[in-house]
Amino acid sequence: MATLYVGNLPWGTKAEDLQDAFSQYGEVLSSRVITDRETGRSRGFGFVEVNDADVEKMVAALNGTELGGRVITVNEAKAREARA
């Protein structure tokens, strides 16, 4: 399993929208849009968990494409650094 970072999302994007877009290129295990804890509003990025075999195909197919009127960034997510 691998996690893809998806950036520059339109504010109205839902996890289901990511699932629909990415499932055209392989199996989506889960998807989530990150929201602000206080306002509940989207922070403009999210993550999609996919099978390792689909990573390169999905990045190549979707990075730089348009979703909801905005050009999105898609790449393999990096491990989160520990907060000090």
Q: Which domains does the chain have, with CATH numbers?
A: 2-47+62-76 (3.30.70.330)
Q: Are 50 and 1 in contact (CB under 8 A)?
A: yes
Res 13: pLDDT: 95
Does the global pTM surpass 0.85? yes
1 neighbors 16 (Cβ within 8 angstroms): no
Between residues 83 and 33, the one the model is more confident about = 33
Q: What is the pLDDT of residue 12?
A: 94
